[in-house]
């Protein structure tokens, strides 16, 4: 029986790479994001390999999120795997200079959005007594770095929510996993720096993780035997030792 995965943030970076890898392995896909054109491109590329539907919604909007997931066609209503990936950093400023809009964006998307999507899907998993939830945290959820303040707080919250989910869903046999990457070369820094030049330097002088590296780890996690749950995984590029220590060649 083919499994179905819902991936948030499937229009870019880690989410899109995961969609490609899941499609290759015949997992049916519900691709989510706000950029409809990108959703269509990813769907078109993958529907030769598996069944694909797209859902266009902003995870910040509670009702939009719940309505979109409720609108899924019958053949996609049973979700075996939820990849809570949508998220970004917005800004990199000392706390005294931080923007309230940036703070809202990070807490609303990375934390509350993850909760809204989860709320729409967990009840069917508890009813069936099966399912796997993968939350994409960050090394920023395990340590705090200069100017990282609210982004780090949002990812610490993701880890706390992940642990809470694992505890509460334990009796239902639902797997809950946190995958916490360090520096991954995606559109992440373009979003963080609002397209500014700073984004170009983030991945220079060393080999950063690629979105495909994280996709492989996610696929590994979802293909473990029934009795094995990868609970919490931290992954850095080899050049990175912590949020602040990165060995650069130039």
Which of 16/69 has CB closer to ligand 8X3? 16
Decide which of ligand NDP, ligand 8X3, none touches 243; Cβ closer than 5 to 8 Å per partner kind: ligand 8X3
Decide which of ligand NDP, ligand 8X3, none touches 59; Cβ closer than 5 to 8 Å per partner kind: ligand NDP
| CA distance to 2, 17, 110, 139, 224, per residue, from 58 (Å) | 28, 20, 12, 25, 31
Kindly determine how many residues on this chain lie close enough to bind ligand NDP according to the rule CB under 6 A. Answer: 30
- The answer to whether residue 177 forms part of the interface with ligand NDP (CB under 6 A) is no
- The answer to whether residue 33 forms part of the interface with ligand NDP (CB under 6 A) is yes
Q: Which of 185, 161, 41 is nearest to 112 (CA)?
A: 161
Beta pairing partners, 6:
30, 82
Q: Point out the residues that are catalytic.
A: 151
The three-state (H, E, C) secondary structure of 59-85, written as one string: CCCHHHHHHHHHCCCHHHCCCCEEEEC
Which of 27/209 has CB closer to ligand 8X3? 209
Decide which of ligand 8X3, ligand NDP, none touches 4; Cβ closer than 5 to 8 Å per partner kind: none
Stretch that binds ligand NDP, among 20-28, 47-55, 178-186, 218-226 (CB under 6 A): 178-186
Residues 164-203 that bind ligand 8X3 (CB under 6 A): 182-183
Least CB distance to ligand 8X3 at residue 77 (A): 32
Spatial CB neighbours of 7, under 8 Å, sequence gap ≥ 6: 15, 18, 19, 22, 29, 30, 31, 32, 83, 85
Region of 174 on the Ramachandran plot (φ > 0 left; ψ -120 to 50 alpha; else beta): beta
Site string for ligand 8X3, 38-77 (x = CB under 6 A): ----------------------------------------
Q: Which of 48, 46, 36, 44 is nearest to 11 (CA)?
A: 36
- The answer to whether residue 149 forms part of the interface with ligand 8X3 (CB under 6 A) is no
Region of 131 on the Ramachandran plot (φ > 0 left; ψ -120 to 50 alpha; else beta): left
Spatial CB neighbours of 169, under 8 Å, sequence gap ≥ 6: 122, 125, 126, 133, 176
- The answer to whether residue 88 forms part of the interface with ligand NDP (CB under 6 A) is yes
- The answer to whether residue 243 forms part of the interface with ligand 8X3 (CB under 6 A) is yes
- The answer to whether residue 98 forms part of the interface with ligand NDP (CB under 6 A) is no
Site string for ligand NDP, 206-235 (x = CB under 6 A): -----x------------------------
Residues near ligand NDP (CB under 6 A)? 8-9, 11-15, 33-35, 38, 58-60, 85-88, 109, 113, 136, 138, 181, 183-184, 186-188, 191, 211
């Amino acid at each position: 029986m083919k499994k179905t995965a819902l991936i948030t943030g499937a229009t870019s970076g880690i989410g899109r790479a995961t969609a490609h890898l899941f499609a290759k392995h015949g997992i049916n896909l519900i691709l989510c994001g706000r950029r409809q054109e990108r959703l269509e491109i990813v769907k078109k590329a993958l529907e030769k390999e598996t069944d694909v539907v797209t859902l266009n919604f902003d995870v910040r909007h509670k009702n939009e999120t719940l309505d979109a997931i409720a609108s899924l066609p019958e053949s996609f209503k049973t979700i075996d795997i939820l990849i809570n990936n949508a998220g970004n950093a917005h800004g990199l400023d000392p706390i005294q200079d931080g923007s309230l809009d940036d703070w809202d964006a990070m807490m609303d998307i990375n934390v509350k959005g993850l909760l809204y999507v989860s709320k729409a899907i967990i009840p069917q998993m508890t009813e069936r007594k099966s399912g796997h939830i993968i939350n994409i945290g960050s090394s920023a959820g395990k340590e705090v770095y200069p100017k990282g303040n609210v982004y780090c707080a949002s990812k610490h919250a993701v880890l706390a929510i992940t642990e809470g989910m694992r505890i509460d869903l334990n009796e239902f046999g639902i797997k809950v996993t946190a995958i916490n990457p360090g520096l991954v070369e995606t559109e992440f820094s373009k979003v963080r720096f609002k397209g500014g030049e700073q984004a170009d330097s983030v991945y220079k002088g060393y080999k950063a993780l690629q979105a495909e590296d994280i996709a492989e780890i996610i696929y590994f996690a979802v293909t473990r035997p029934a009795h094995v749950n990868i609970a919490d995984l931290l992954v850095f590029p080899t050049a990175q030792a912590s949020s602040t220590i990165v060995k650069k060649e130039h």
